[in-house]
Amino acid sequence: MDAIAYPVRPARNLHRFANPGRFLRLAGRVQPWLTWPALLLTLGGLGWGLFAAPADWQQGDAVRMMYVHVPSAWLASAGYVSLALASFAALVWRHPLADLAAAEIGPVGAGFTALCLATGSLWGKPMWGAWWVWDARLTSVLVLFFLYVGHIALVRAFDDPARGYRAGAILALVGAVNLPVIKFSVDWWNTLHQPASIKLTGAPTMSGDMLWPLLVCAIGFTLAFAAIVMARTRAAVMERRIRGLLLAQAERGSEHGSGRALDGAFGPGAGDGPGRGIGHVPGHA
Amino acid sequence: MTHMPFIAATYVLGVAVPLVFAVGAWRRLAQARRRLAAIDPRAAT
């Protein structure tokens, strides 16, 4: 009888990184390659945009706000894409690190979305004469911010973290419907917000003198986002490990009928302060 | 430079927001590493 050839599952490779030790080793090696280029490119790009890039013939120097606003807007959407992908991996393949990564992407994505809204408001006041208008693009990005905040709250709302992660993953996937609305809002509706200057399907409608510093800023901000999320995920993996070790210690202590093992679990650095100790994951208050 | 206060505020926010997240992540990672090393020195390496 011929041997049955089973198809290779796509999740198999992903699960190679489900091992916390392997992930921590790999992430520890990758972290400096994200952090230092992020710092150099972000500061270099912002300096280039602020001092060396030309002013716009129509907007004047106000166009320099673009070098912060556009990368943060790009990351607000790209961050949500990564949140939705991590949620998908967590729901479909039950990848144990995808849950943690999604929980760590949420606050960072919310921060960059808030930055996008704030800098857009600062750019809008001198150009449009208003801090805020209920324009389709602005409103859909505000909805994105609320989706991030909802995800953050939902993930941390349950005593059982697994339930929180699952509810958050469902919200993240449902909320992904907002992404094409954000992207195409300036095409579908008559908005005050300008249409895209950089398109995949055509040449950019922007001078190269402005485009290059913008690209440097965008790459720098993207690397910074990735570096922050990776550092937070590494910390979350370690915290999960700490909780597991403390629980194991506590169980061993209760099996021996002695509370001594718990002394170590609740000792200095482990249980100092309200709400700390077994079952508590720092940063998930 | 025209609109200087708006530009300055934008750049301050553009540096401050990633910086706050980066410092927070770095401190949390350092604390987790310290706590893990205290419980299981092999796991923290």
B-contacting residues in A 72-111 (Cβ below 8 Å): 72, 107-108, 111
Average pLDDT over residues B1-27: 94
Establish if A86 belongs to a structural domain.
yes
Establish if A108 belongs to a structural domain.
yes
CA-nearest of A71, A22, A85, A93 to A223 is A71
When mean pLDDT is compared across A149-163, A164-178, A239-253, the lowest value belongs to: A239-253
Residue scoring higher pLDDT (A271 or A216): A216
B-contacting residues in A 20-79 (Cβ below 8 Å): 21, 35, 42, 46, 50, 55, 60-62, 64-65, 67-69, 72
pLDDT digits (tens, 9 = 90+) for A89-121: 999 988 889 999 999 999 999 999 999 999 999
Establish if A153 belongs to a structural domain.
yes
Establish if A275 belongs to a structural domain.
no
Minimal CA separation from A84 to chain B, in Å: 21
Of the candidates A62, A107, A249, the beta carbon closest to that of B2 is on: A62
Task: Answer yes or no: do A69 and B10 touch at CB < 8 A.
Answer: yes
Confidence of residue A40 (pLDDT cuts 50, 70, 90): very high
Confidence of residue A194 (pLDDT cuts 50, 70, 90): confident
pLDDT confidence of residue A2: 54
Residue scoring higher pLDDT (A127 or A253): A127
Task: Answer yes or no: do A122 and B40 touch at CB < 8 A.
Answer: no
Establish if A52 belongs to a structural domain.
yes
Q: Is A269's pLDDT higher than 50?
A: no
Q: Please, which residues have CB within 8 angstroms of residue B42's CB and are 6 or more apart in sequence?
A: none
pLDDT confidence of residue A192: 83
pLDDT confidence of residue A17: 64
ipTM of the complex as predicted: 0.93
Residue scoring higher pLDDT (B2 or A275): B2
Residue scoring higher pLDDT (A40 or A270): A40
Total structural domains within chain A:
1
pLDDT digits (tens, 9 = 90+) for A51-79: 999 988 888 899 999 999 999 999 999 99
Task: Answer yes or no: do B2 and A61 touch at CB < 8 A.
Answer: yes
Give the sign of the dihedral formed by CA A282, CA A274, CA B23, CA B43: negative
3-class secondary structure, A38: helix
pLDDT confidence of residue A261: 44
Where does residue A262 fall: left (phi above 0), alpha (psi -120 to 50 degrees), or beta otherwise? alpha
Establish if A230 belongs to a structural domain.
yes
Establish if A45 belongs to a structural domain.
yes
Confidence of residue A123 (pLDDT cuts 50, 70, 90): very high
A230, closest residue in chain B (CA to CA): B25
Q: What is the pTM of this model?
A: 0.84
Whether B33 has its CB under 8 Å from any CB of chain A: the answer is yes
List alpha helices for A129-257, DSSP H.
136-155, 161-175, 178-188, 208-255
Q: What is the CATH number of the domain that holds A143?
A: 1.20.120
Establish if A8 belongs to a structural domain.
no
Whether B31 has its CB under 8 Å from any CB of chain A: the answer is yes
> Domain limits at A131?
34-190+207-234
Where does residue B43 fall: left (phi above 0), alpha (psi -120 to 50 degrees), or beta otherwise? alpha
